[in-house]
Structure 1
């Protein structure tokens, strides 16, 4: 009797299963086609902000090299570049600064530039029909041809609050921010410049798209939204903790998991496509969502301006490693798994295992995201008004590894190491002092330099930067500081200490130098 009952149950199960199976399968999200979803963009090395419509920040290119070297730099503004570069299929770089939008050849010369009606504070995007979409703060989205001609201008009603997204049908998506009455909207715009639909959500960031659903965070309410791409209907929204602070927007992986890094509460969130929380991890304040490598590893960095880290996670939320880095706004990853970051005063490279590969320092803020050309060149814009082209290659890599605090005679004593893969020749070591001239009631700057003939690979040496002398009857010996120390050589990555306006007290009486100040020396003595 028992066997008969079991047999009947099995037969009924086999008969009923085909009826319910389609419903069960349909309940799972359908994996999107990455190539299809990006088909509205130009097939180029870096056609939009964070590379693609999923914001993976992942380049199919890369170049080997033990350090980073300056290829060229181009002055395109007086200061404060906020927009990040993009690259077309010919290698031309596009970026806006102030009210000017630039096209720049891969050799660092200007191809053309065009004046717009407002400042360009966000990245552009290039569609497959070779139209460049540029947001500007005159409440407009501009469509520009590859030769610099303005095709049309779409009035958005408020200032843009994110970078444009282009879907497979050529529809452009962009958010706006109304700082007074929170009347900003998230727009879908046809390729001819007419608005398809507008959703009344204020302060939306750069968006991503997956399976015809738009995912975007909106800072006015601190929520992550899922929006139907067809008509702008809101599917769901979830709290993500960042209010009144623009971000780089979410990212989404190949399985449709949406990631968001919160500046407000310091969590990295992972959401299922239906809006339910998959996991979260406390990392600290961040302005970004994770970039996603080819193998699915997530990389995200914090921006607290102290004690900042780059984190690597598995898609299930397991922490793989963390690496101490400068406060970071933007990241990308190349085909070799090397992670590149825009730190507060440097561009840096990190190996896939979480060790620092190299840093290339400047003396100003970098508050933009990197882009990569087909030859592996990195393009980064900084607050000093320059666009930098940095090339990974084999060369010497000079690093200041220490400064001697306490009494020295006629010199500043530092340690310098060559961490590169080639020797460094004729290494120039410079200490920049700032003094108060009490005779003329003004501050003055003096540079003292010593040249080292050679520093071999992995060699660390002590260098006395000589010639330091101040007459205390002219200069106040207790109002003296070192504002910068720099080591550099031809065919070498340089290093800077006290970059970005920091300094160390360094009284000088004739040839007597006390780095760190006499009070520190009396309390702790001299040493490294």
Structure 2
């Protein structure tokens, strides 16, 4: 840990994922607190459940209640349902308030602690704690690149995964609380179940662990990475996508409930809608609407990879980012999948360029996201452009709104930016 130092600095102003095959059968933890009292503990009794085996059977779950959670800044995508909604109003015009430069790509969404501290991991292999004014509070080592968002627990601890095949927990002061060493890169944002336990993907496994990092079980998909953050339902069921083309439902005890097959890799994190429908994008170019029993409700062909998590509009419609050759953001009717509106970015010849940034929907229904074209965008609830702000590189990270309505987003240029409303007299001010 480094207090107020590290590679981050403040400047005042007016994705390709690696694939690894193979899995280690043994699950073990390596606790490394600061100081000389570190200890290693191997756990060979945590059960591993494999996809397609020992399935859970039971009554239909279609009529389960949907958790009416208030959006939280501590969570990736605002909560257990990954809705991408905020109850705050975002900036109606754009003025850069500050920059925090880490010198390496930022692909992770920031999260915010109750005291206003922003936490964001980066490819400089560190977790950064940033004050609301953009100054560095501390950095802590994760020993390999961090691709995805952290999670702030109820006691203020910050949990984040990295390519060091590990999940870390840091205190609010930046000290290492524990380190869980795993059998693969921990590249998906961790999630918090209703009972306070953790769910997170590493390698080809979804893990359940206590807040102390002790693993209870693992669910293993066939051979490839799990890159998404699990949605956690009101009964503790976790839903997540896999590079074996499936969306999985995993019961609270680690056994598979069902698997829904798409036509290609599922890199996107799913979203649980207001009526209990699951929405997920796939490299097959579709957004899929799936019931809690694993049955297709509809699918809409958007003609490009859908790798970003979708968001829910204020009316429940599905807001999705799409890759090339026609990169765009679209709004889909939640009941039918019909396209309501579409906002087109600059066309491209590459299928690997587009919108990887999960859209954020504010209290007015406005939509915020970044593009690979090196701009951050704001659209109205009807899909009309409100403002566009240039940045110094492609944007893969999802944005967040802080408590005062400031939009904060990272970029591949290694800069975390805060965007507020233009002051009277500024260019672009209303």
Q: TM-score, normalised by structure 1?
A: 0.65
In the TM superposition, residue 26 of structure 1 has moved relative to its aligned partner by 7.6
In the TM superposition, residue 154 of structure 1 has moved relative to its aligned partner by 0.8
SS of structure 2 residue aligned to 1:84: coil
SS of structure 2 residue aligned to 1:247: coil
Distance 1:95 1:64 in 2: 21
Distance 1:163 1:86 in 2: 11
In the TM superposition, residue 394 of structure 1 has moved relative to its aligned partner by 5.2
1:134 aligns with 2:160: yes
1:357 aligns with 2:405: no
Give the aligned partner of residue 368 of structure 2: 340
SS of structure 2 residue aligned to 1:50: helix
Give the aligned partner of residue 120 of structure 1: 146
- Pairs aligned (count): 356
Give the aligned partner of residue 44 of structure 2: none
Distance 2:268 2:361 in 1: 16
Distance 2:321 2:163 in 1: 28
1:225 aligns with 2:225: no
RMSD of the alignment, in Å? 2.0
1:428-460 Cα distance to aligned partner (Å, 9 max, x none)? xxxxxxxxxxxxxxxxxxxxxxxxxxxxxxxxx
Pick from 242, 247, 254 the counterpart of residue 274 of structure 2.
254
Pick from 160, 169, 176 the counterpart of residue 150 of structure 1.
176
Greater RCO (Cα-Cα under 8 Å, separation 6 or more): 2
In the TM superposition, residue 52 of structure 1 has moved relative to its aligned partner by 1.2
Q: Is contact 1:71-1:390 (8 Å) kept?
A: yes
1:388 aligns with 2:409: no
1:89 aligns with 2:114: yes
Distance 2:184 2:61 in 1: 39
State how 1:349-498 maps to structure 2 within 5 Å: 349-393=378-422, 420-421=428-429
State how 1:39-58 maps to structure 2 within 5 Å: 45-58=72-85
In the TM superposition, residue 70 of structure 1 has moved relative to its aligned partner by 0.2
Q: Is contact 1:104-1:110 (8 Å) kept?
A: yes
Higher helix share: 1
Which stretches in structure 2 are left out of the alignment for 5+ residues? Answer: 1-58, 347-353
Runs of 4+ in 1 over 6 A off after TM superposition: none
Q: Is contact 1:68-1:392 (8 Å) kept?
A: yes
In the TM superposition, residue 118 of structure 1 has moved relative to its aligned partner by 2.2
Q: TM-score, normalised by structure 2?
A: 0.79
Q: Is contact 1:216-1:225 (8 Å) kept?
A: yes
SS of structure 2 residue aligned to 1:360: strand
Distance 1:324 1:270 in 2: 23
Q: Is contact 1:54-1:209 (8 Å) kept?
A: yes
1:470-524 Cα distance to aligned partner (Å, 9 max, x none)? xxxxxxxxxxxxxxxxxxxxxxxxxxxxxxxxxxxxxxxxxxxxxxxxxxxxxxx
In the TM superposition, residue 393 of structure 1 has moved relative to its aligned partner by 3.7
SS of structure 1 residue aligned to 2:247: strand
Give the aligned partner of residue 290 of structure 1: 310
Q: Is contact 2:197-2:211 (8 Å) kept?
A: yes
Distance 1:223 1:58 in 2: 25
Q: Tell which structure's C-alpha radius of gyration is larger.
A: 1
In the TM superposition, residue 302 of structure 1 has moved relative to its aligned partner by 0.6
Higher strand share: 1
Which stretches in structure 1 are left out of the alignment for 5+ residues? Answer: 1-24, 39-43, 178-183, 399-419, 423-528
In structure 2, the CA distance between the partners of 1:368 and 1:171, relative to structure 1 (3 Å rule), is: same
